[in-house]
Amino acid sequence: MNMQAPPPHAGGNTSRRKPPRTPKGRQVDLQALEEVQALLTDRPRRRDLLIEHLHLIQDHYGHLSAAHLAALAAEMRMALTEVYEVATFYAHFDVVKEGETPPPPVTVRVCESLSCTMRGAEKLLAALPDKLGPNVRVVRAPCMGACDHAPAVAVGHVQTFNATPDKVAGAVAAQPHAHAWKPDADFAAYQARGGYALLKDCIAGTRTPDELIKIVSDAGLRGLGGAGFPTGRKWSLVRAEPAPRLFAVNADEGEPGTFKDRHYLERDPHRFLEGVLIAAWVVEARDTYIYIRDEYPEIRLMLLEEIEKLEQAGLTPHTKLHLRRGAGAYICGEESAMIESIEGKRGLPRHRPPYVAQVGLFGRPTLEQNVETMFWIRDIVEKGAAWFASHGRNERKGLRSFSVSGRVKNPGVKLAPAGITMRELIDEYCGGMEEGHAFKAYLPGGPSGGILPASMADIPLDFGTLEKYGCFVGSHAVVILSDQDDIKAVALNLMKFFEDESCGQCTPCRVGTEKAAALMAQGPWNVELLNELSTAMRDASICGLGQAAPNPLLCVLKYFPDELKKPLGKW
């Protein structure tokens, strides 16, 4: 058979198709390209810096226009679809399609997570649009890490604590000249107190990695971001993997009720940084990436300056420190989703195995730790394993930082012995319950950790003590509820948070949280259907978000059966 094409003149239409005047796809606007190039200056055009470059545009123009996205894609030699899917994944990027009206110059974000809702966030959301006028956009936002100063409101990137309509109006009037408060890290003062002496000993070879691994292991230090994996064991596992190895530090605490990392970074950042540099030395990580919440702009700016001081002081010969900025995605607190984000992608959790310690950042073995874990490294090594292990109650060992908010007199970060009970924590560290409120229930570990009644407030709080009750301490985010709080409304608030923050990758989580929230908003609750839905979410979701999302709901069904008979309350 002759497979050759017929000559052009062999019958039929002899006219030739004219070539298109322009290439296919959206064309790059030259002015937009020049504007993007002016922002990027000489910054590398690498894929892993895509989110950083999107922030530059968003910060300067207040939104991401279609023209700027197309120009950025051209400048970085990426497909526009890749840039667009990343830009639209993160809540803090305002993508404006062609023909759409850009948002007003000022955006006010009102935290609607549990602690802020308990303190009047819904009233703020109702009052602010009229108070601020049409030139200000008022939107709902998830936890901002200011639960002890609820309700929290962000005007641009500047947060207002214990917000009222008048306070927020004042913050709006101060725009665009208002700046976030920047903590004073005082590098010299930290060194004067013996800071970085341990790191210098490590770099000089006075200490050995095996020695530090043994001390940390004997102290019983665990990952304090939620999972509680033994730190010394994690270091050993990563060290056993082939070089080059990397290090990723999770400073993206997004669990509602959690603000302990913010507390330590604001008050003693160099103790954290020294721990980071020591851990990088132990596992021989050539590059270290610190991934920090976009909700903490003042801390990010401070860390940029302090990292530069460390480099100038010659304290980072063994690893290169990189600071990466989140963009409003709770899922990026999950280690593999965080790694995807650092690589400039959507924060979608990875399937496991392989684990991050084996195939992590840029495909290399990666150590992943959280802020508080690194904060304790210097003290544990200098004071000895026995010092850390000597703290604890009820046969538990170590110190724990509890982020406490809700109906207590004195909310805040409470450094307490591991194994302390909730009743002891309230009475000894929080000044008791708020006046006029009776202790009714508590969240031991944020929304993921479930809800327990006050009758179960004498259980030791630590890893492994609450799992048999369907709860866990996780990141030690404690929210105290009183007799004036509707438990069903609390559970619905938490489920709506999971619905909004689901990355959408897997159906059980994406659809399950939506359906559960819809069923919980109705009355009376269909207990059989909610149990069936919860089982599907727990068994089939890819990551911990979907697996833990039903916990508050199941706790209400198990521990608060009388609440099911009541109509759903309003805040």
Q: Residue 245 in contact with residue 364, Cβ under 8 Å?
A: yes
The topology (CATH level 3) of 187-383 is: Rossmann fold (3.40.50)
Residue 26: predicted pLDDT: 74
Q: List the one residue out of 155, 157, 179, 189 whose CA is nearest residue 169.
A: 155
Domain boundaries for CATH 3.40.30.10 within the chain: 106-174
Cα 219 from Cα 82, distance rounded (Å): 45
Q: What pLDDT is stored for residue 65 in this prediction?
A: 97
Mean pLDDT across 529-541? 97
pLDDT tens digit sequence for 413-472: 999 999 999 999 999 999 999 999 999 999 999 999 999 999 999 999 999 999 999 999
CB 442 within 8 A of CB 422: yes
DSSP 3-state assignment of 227? coil
Looking at residue 517, its amino acid is A
Residues of the chain within CATH 3.40.50.11540 domain(s) are: 187-383
Angle 271-277-208 from CA coordinates, rounded to 5°: 110
pLDDT of residue 3: 47
Q: Which two tokens stand for residue 566?
A: 């009541």
Confidence of residue 13 (pLDDT cuts 50, 70, 90): low
Q: For residues 439 and 433, is the Cβ–Cβ distance under 8 A? A: yes
Give CATH 1.10.10.1590 domain extents, the chain.
30-96
pLDDT digits (tens, 9 = 90+) for 109-160: 999 999 999 999 999 999 999 999 999 999 999 999 999 999 999 999 899 9
d(CA 418, CA 413): 14
CATH superfamily of 30-96: NADH-quinone oxidoreductase subunit E (1.10.10.1590)
Give 17's pLDDT tier (boundaries 50, 70, 90). confident
Backbone angles phi, psi at 328, to 5 degrees: 85, 60
- Residue 8 banded pLDDT, cuts 50, 70, 90: very low
- In this model, does residue 524 exceed pLDDT 80? yes
Tens-place pLDDT, residues 249-266:
999 999 999 999 999 999
Mean pLDDT of 78-96: 97
Q: What is the DSSP string of 334-379?
A: SHHHHHHHHTTS--PPPPSSSPTTTS-GGGS-EEEEEHHHHHTHHH
The CA-based angle 423-428-430, given to 5 degrees, is: 85
Q: 486-563: what fold?
A: de novo design (two linked rop proteins) (1.20.1440)
Please count the CA atoms within 13 angstroms of the CA of 36 that sit on its side-chain side: 25
Strand partners, 368: 248
Q: CATH class for domain 106-174?
A: alpha beta
Q: What angle do CA 17, 18, 24 make, to 5 degrees?
A: 105
Under 8 Å between Cβ of 156 and 144:
no
The pLDDT tens digits for 178-219 are: 666 678 899 999 999 999 999 999 999 999 999 999 999 999
Label the pairing between strands 285-292 and 245-251.
parallel
Q: pLDDT tens digit string along 281-327?
A: 999 999 999 999 999 999 999 999 999 999 999 999 999 999 999 99
Segment 224-238 shows an average pLDDT of 94
Which residues are paired to 433 by β-bridges?
408
pLDDT attached to residue 21: 64
- Residue 519 DSSP SS3: helix
100 residue type, one letter = E
The predicted structure's pLDDT at residue 283: 98
Average pLDDT, the chain: 94
Q: Buried b / exposed e across 75-112, counting CB within 10 Å, b at 16+?
A: bbebebebbbebbebbbbbbbbeeeeeeebebbbbbbb
CATH architecture type of domain 391-482: Roll (3.10)
Q: Average of pLDDT values for 535-558?
A: 96
Per-residue pLDDT of 331-341, as tens digits, reads 999 999 999 99
**Which residues make Cβ contacts (< 8 Å) with residue 237, sequence separation at least 6?**
357
Residues 6 or more apart whose CB falls under 8 angstroms from that of 432 comprise 408, 409, 426
